[in-house]
Chain A
């Protein structure tokens, strides 16, 4: 009798445990603090990929796709983003018309700080990404804004990111301004909401099915998704931004794509970067 009862009960219990452990992460976890989100996020991936360390996630899909990793490593020997870093450095050190520099806008002259972005700007009441900080700097020195989808700003970020390479992501959600948490929450809802005709959430592919194959491609984990940007994407044939990749993903699932540096994408980056805290910055990088 006991054995009759035990089997289905065990299965039920296991199913419940599974839902308890993973259910919250597949669907939007309500009422969780960012700290709890981060702990749950890491725990989920640890269970999914027990052989990976936190540092491994800075290599994106190549941490889990051993075959693609080989060709990626070969490409990284002669990185196609080197020119972007060089150009970015020149641009960064070129003075504005008023004689001031980009370096005057940033702590530590902008060097070795990219891992702390995006930041919450209390005065502006919005999330400021590294790209936006560059444009805000230009505006404060009476220079025109750079187009986010053009190479100049991508090269500038490539240089700044290269100076912070290897530093663990360190994004903060200040507690003295409730709007910061609200921005994070908006990014989180966007991540878990279903979008477009194909009706996918970011979480559908990159949490629920991370490591599985979508046709011939292995789906990457979201942990470390923001670490390797800007990235020279072979498909693009050039270096591009994280927001360009966001837009591409949304277009693929036949959803409305937002503009680069739109509040939606900045908040999404804020959420994802926060969850990537502790993973070393690996940008600029290359991807397929």
Chain B
């Protein structure tokens, strides 16, 4: 009985080490960011568990350390050529690749990534 209890405790501790599914797994912004016909961000950027990311742009994590607020990130996604005429980043807002609502959802998802 005691052994069974120990086994139960071990099993319990094991299951607790399995990482809980990321809270943003179903985030609508993640779906938009990953979808090839939408944001397709993985074409150029590494994003958490995204497979085969490109390396043209920087990894998308710790964005609050690179942008002073979400509005600044939004300007970059909206039309990166305003800040760098040689940018490789498509103007997602200006050229209506994504709607403003979709861009806001992507920002909401990306902003929390560590």
Q: Which residues does A use to contact B, with CB under 8 Å?
A: 26-27, 197-200, 204-205, 208-209, 212-216
Say yes or no: is B97 at the interface (Cβ < 8 Å to chain A).
yes
Give the CA-CA distance A204 to B43 in the complex, in Å.
Answer: 14
Using an 8 Å CB-CB cutoff, how does the interface string of B79-114 with A read, 1 for contact, 0 for none? 001000110101100011100000000000000000
- Using known A-B contacts A198-B90, A199-B90, determine if residue A214 contacts B56 with beta carbons closer than 8 Å: yes
B88 touches which of A197, A209, A213, A216 (Cβ 8 Å): A209
Structural contact, A214 and B54, CB atoms closer than 8 A? yes
B56 near A198 with CB under 8 A, answer: no
A208 partner residues in chain B, CB cutoff 8 A: 86, 88
User: Which one of B42, B55, B97 lies within 8 Å of A198 (CB-CB)?
Assistant: B97
Sort A-B residue pairs by CB-CB distance and give the 9 closest, nearest first: A216-B52, A198-B90, A213-B54, A213-B55, A214-B54, A215-B43, A197-B95, A212-B56, A215-B54
Docked Cα-Cα span, A200 to B81, in Å, equals: 11
In the bound complex, what is the Cα–Cα distance between A229 and B51 (angstroms)? 32
Chain B contact residues, majority secondary structure: loop
Q: What residues of chain A lie closer than 8 Å to B86, measured between beta carbons?
A: 26-27, 208
Chain B: interface residue total (CB-CB under 8 A): 17
A213 CA to B42 CA, complexed, in Å: 10
19 A-B pairs with C-beta separation under 8 A? A27-B85, A27-B86, A197-B90, A197-B95, A197-B96, A198-B90, A198-B95, A199-B95, A200-B88, A200-B90, A208-B86, A208-B88, A209-B88, A212-B56, A213-B54, A213-B56, A214-B43, A214-B44, A215-B54
Decide: A209 and B91 in contact? CB cutoff 8 A: no
**Identity of the chain A residue whose Cβ is nearest the Cβ of B91 in the assembled complex:** A199
Bound-complex Cα distance A96 to B66 (A): 68
Question: Does any Cβ of A come within 8 Å of B59's Cβ?
Answer: no
Q: Does A215 contact B97, Cβ atoms closer than 8 Å?
A: no
Chain B residues, CB < 8 A from A212: 54-56
CB distance from A19 to the nearest CB of B (A): 10
Closest to B81 in A: A199
Docked pose: A26 CA to B88 CA in angstroms: 11
How close is B101's CB to chain A, nearest CB, in angstroms? Answer: 18
A contact residues around B90 at 8 Å (CB)? 197-200
C-alpha gap A271/B13 in the complex (Å): 66
Expressed in whole angstroms, the Cα–Cα distance for A200 and B90 within the complex equals: 7
- Name B16-59 residues within 8 Å CB distance of A: 42-44, 52-56
Q: For residue B85, which residue of chain A has the nearest CB?
A: A27
Bound-state CA distance A141–B2 (Å) is 98
Q: In the complex, what residues of B have CB within 8 A of residue A197's CB?
A: 90, 95-97
For B88, what are the chain A residues with a Cβ–Cβ distance below 8 Å? Answer: 200, 204-205, 208-209
